[in-house]
């Protein structure tokens, strides 16, 4: 065998070996739900903005998902093999019918709607996303909250073995969030199962997340596993980390600055100039009444 | 080692190497690969390199005490000026791209946002150092005064680290790494100063003063 052929042979075998090694992870990715699949029968939902959605590439490569790393590009990389199947969501607390939902059940509770929402991060950037899901109140009504239920507490999945990056992120995990009951029951509040016509990519909170479009992005908890109806205001991750900077309500509000930066403007990903941030992220007509008489400077 | 450090080509090569971070940014821009938030990416890259060059500049003096590394002093001024260069790019990005020349808003930020206040201070302190980095200015000021003035770089380094620390939301690992480096480099100087003072009080005022040099060759 000539030296050139020998080298060529090495290359070919090496390539085949590499492909072979990759195969199990490709198969695994399909089995664990790591790759988004198309969602069928999605109808157009109410409340959609007519603004142009941000590019899919930007929405999937600029993520805050600290369980998978604190740099914006980390989650796209580190969440690739995140196992999202099988998956159950436990609903408990002050409800008449506590129960666990499998993902298969959640996907069938109501017709899937596409809702194009503005999404404003507390870090002063924003995106427009065609989410897929249905109002959270559909699920809530099924478990029948008791009169004692005044708030809803949410909890994210956390597995330090699958999410070793979380340990150094500087926030306590699992990630927890919360809403007042009337906020949770508001039709805008979305139980989100997909985006851009497909199931959620891992880095965007697969397989199920919340989307609350009039609040800063961190309220829209990802990879949801537990929902608890409770009497008192639940703890939330970012206010546990820094109560002075992140409050329970965290409504988008251009008039109340973050202690370290202004919230008056935002950078829409894909645009050069900053744009003005809208009160309640432009959803004031629908939600302002929830906060009538409240001092939003105090309840930030 | 000594021959490499003294080689006439080392300096131009290092000069080009110092431009690599800028070239990388330009290449990423050309490839339209500046992430989903290009302005933030440019701001962070230029900020990182400012701090890195400040640390490198501060490292020269301790390193040149190692036998054989004394000629490193040749590169100190260049490294310092590159810190200023990347600082200008960082500051310029903020002015031109982030704030788009909205002077009123910037002035408000400098006042109100402490991470900007401290970053701005660190940058402004570099200006007189860059201006007086020439041999002419060393002569005009006199070695001692020049050296005294250039200790402002200790403040710039400290300000840079605080600026970074105050900027991040919760993951402080990277700012703390820079803080550790700066602490070691400044701590070394404090120890040396304490030792020298002790010897001074033990042996009388016979200590030789190190000559002030931006460059000795």
Give the C-alpha distances (Å, rounded to integers) separating B113 from B6, B13, B107, B108: 45, 40, 10, 8
pLDDT band at A1 (very low <50, low <70, confident <90, very high): very low
Same structural domain for residues A62 and A190?
Answer: yes
Q: Which residues of A touch B166 (CB under 8 A)?
A: 260
Residues A5 and A99 in one domain: no
Please give the pLDDT value at position A108: 96
A273 and A149 housed in the same domain: yes
Q: Minimal Cα–Cα distance from B55 to chain A, Å?
A: 23
The reply to whether residue B171 touches residue A123, judged by beta carbons under 8 angstroms, is no
Statement: residue A203 has pLDDT above 70: yes
Report the C-alpha gap between B141 and B149 in whole angstroms.
Answer: 9
Residues of A in contact with B95 (CB under 8 A): none
Overall average pLDDT of the A15-34 stretch: 50
Of B35, B40, B115, the CB nearest to A260: B115
Please tell me whether residues A65 and A12 are part of one structural domain: no
**A58 contacts B170? CB cut-off 8 A:** no
Instruction: Kindly state whether residues A60 and A2 are assigned to the same domain.
Output: no
pLDDT-based confidence at B211, cuts 50/70/90?
low
- pLDDT, chain B, mean: 92
- Bigger pLDDT: A10 vs A297: A297
Indicate the helix (H) or strand (E) that contains A158: none
Chain A contact set for B170 (CB, 8 A): 66, 70, 169-171, 241-242
Q: Are residues A1 and A42 in the same domain?
A: no
Give the gap in angstroms from C-alpha A32 to the nearest C-alpha of chain B. Answer: 28
Identify whether residues A26 and A43 lie together within a single domain.
Answer: no
**Per-residue pLDDT tens digits for A74-107:** 999 999 999 999 999 999 999 999 999 999 999 9
Give the count of Cβ contacts less than 8 A between chain A and B. 46
Q: Which of A246-250, A271-275, B108-112 has the lowest mean pLDDT?
A: B108-112
Domain count, chain A: 2
Q: Give me the residue from B37, B100, B170 closest to A269, CB to CB.
A: B37
pLDDT at A11 over 50: no
Q: Residue A120's domain spans which residues?
A: 38-291
Q: Can you tell me the ipTM of this complex?
A: 0.84
B173–A125 C-beta distance less than 8 A:
no
Q: Is A199 within the bounds of a domain?
A: yes
Q: Is B31 on the interface with A (CB under 8 A)?
A: no
Judge: B170–A170 Cβ closer than 8 Å, yes or no.
yes
Of the pLDDT bands very low, low, confident and very high (cuts 50, 70, 90), residue B205 is low
User: Whole-model pTM?
Assistant: 0.87
Classify residue A296: in a domain, yes or no: no
Residues of B in contact with A269 (CB under 8 A): 36-37
Instruction: Indicate whether A53 and A15 sit together in one domain.
Output: no
Looking at the fold, whether A110 and A202 belong to one and the same domain comes out as yes
Q: Do B36 and A57 touch (CB under 8 A)?
A: yes
3-class SS of residue A181: helix
Residues of chain B in contact with residue A242, where contact means CB-CB under 8 angstroms, are 170
Q: What is the pLDDT of residue A24?
A: 46
Q: What is the DSSP string of A233-247?
A: PPP-HHHHH-TTT--
> Domain check: are A53 and A22 in the same one?
no
CA nearest neighbour of B50 among B88, B94, B92, B87: B87
- Which chain B residue is nearest to residue A167, measuring alpha carbons? B171
Using a CB–CB cutoff of 8 Å, tell me whether B173 touches chain A. yes
| Residue A297 in this model has a pLDDT that exceeds 50 | yes
Q: Do B114 and A273 touch (CB under 8 A)?
A: no
How far A270 CA sits from the closest chain B CA (Å)? Answer: 7
**pLDDT of amino acid B200:** 82
If one compares B179 and B2, the residue with the highest pLDDT of the two is B179
pLDDT recorded at residue B202: 77
- The domain ranges of chain B are 2-203
Is B109 an 8 Å CB contact of chain A?
A: yes
Q: How many CA atoms lie within 13 A of A287 on its CB side?
A: 25
In order, the DSSP letters of B134-182 are: SHHHHHHH-HHHHHHHHTHHHHHHHHHHHHHHHHSSS--HHHHHHHHHH
Q: Residue A164 to residues A66, A202, A220, A222, B98: CA-CA distances in angstroms?
A: 10, 15, 22, 17, 34
């Amino acid at each position: 065998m000539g030296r050139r052929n020998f080298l060529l042979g090495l290359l070919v075998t090496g390539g085949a070996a590499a492909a072979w090694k990759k195969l199990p992870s490709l198969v695994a990715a399909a089995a664990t739900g790591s790759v988004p699949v198309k969602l069928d029968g999605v109808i157009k939902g109410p409340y959609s903005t007519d603004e142009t959605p941000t590019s899919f590439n930007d929405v999937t490569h600029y993520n805050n998902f600290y369980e998978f790393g604190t740099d914006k590009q980390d989650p796209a990389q580190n969440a690739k093999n995140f196992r999202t199947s099988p998956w159950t969501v436990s609903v408990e607390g002050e409800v008449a019918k506590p129960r666990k939902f499998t993902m298969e059940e959640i996907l069938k509770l109501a017709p899937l709607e596409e809702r194009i929402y503005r999404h404003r991060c507390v870090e002063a950037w924003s995106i427009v996303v065609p989410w897929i899901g249905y109002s959270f109140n559909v699920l809530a009504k099924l478990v029948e909250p008791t009169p004692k239920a005044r708030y809803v507490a949410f909890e994210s999945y956390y597995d330090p073995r699958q999410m070793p990056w979380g340990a150094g992120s500087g926030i306590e995990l699992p990630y927890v969030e919360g809403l007042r009951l009337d906020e949770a029951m508001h039709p805008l509040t979305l139980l989100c199962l997909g985006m851009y016509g497909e199931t959620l990519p891992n880095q965007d909170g697969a397989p199920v997340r919340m989307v609350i479009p009039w609040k800063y992005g961190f309220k829209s908890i990802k990879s949801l596993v537990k929902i608890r109806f409770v009497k008192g205001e639940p703890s939330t991750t970012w206010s546990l980390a820094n109560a002075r900077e992140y409050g329970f309500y965290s409504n988008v509000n251009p008039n109340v600055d973050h202690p370290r930066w202004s919230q008056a403007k935002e950078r829409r990903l894909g645009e050069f100039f900053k744009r003005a941030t809208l009160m309640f992220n432009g959803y004031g007509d629908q939600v302002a009444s929830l906060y009538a008489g409240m001092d939003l400077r105090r309840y930030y | 080692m000594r021959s490499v450090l003294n080689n006439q080509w080392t300096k131009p090569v290092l000069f080009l190497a110092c431009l690599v971070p800028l070239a990388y940014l330009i290449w990423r821009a050309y490839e339209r690969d500046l992430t989903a938030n290009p302005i933030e990416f440019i701001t962070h890259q230029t900020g990182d390199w400012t701090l890195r060059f400040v640390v490198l500049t501060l490292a020269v003096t301790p390193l040149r005490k190692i036998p054989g590394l004394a000629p490193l002093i040749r590169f100190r001024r260049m490294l310092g000026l590159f810190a200023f260069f990347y600082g200008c790019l960082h500051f310029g990005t903020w002015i031109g791209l982030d704030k788009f020349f909205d002077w009123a808003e910037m002035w408000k930020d400098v006042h109100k946002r402490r991470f900007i206040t401290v970053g701005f201070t660190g940058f402004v302190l570099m200006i007189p150092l860059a201006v007086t980095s020439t041999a002419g200015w060393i002569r005009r000021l006199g070695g001692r005064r020049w050296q005294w003035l250039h200790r402002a770089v200790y403040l710039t380094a400290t300000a840079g680290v605080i600026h970074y620390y105050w900027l991040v939301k919760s993951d402080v690992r990277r700012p703390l790494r820079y803080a550790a480096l700066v602490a070691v480099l400044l701590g070394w100087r404090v120890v040396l100063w304490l030792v020298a003072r002790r010897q001074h009080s033990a042996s009388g005022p016979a200590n030789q003063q190190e000559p002030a040099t931006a460059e000795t060759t």
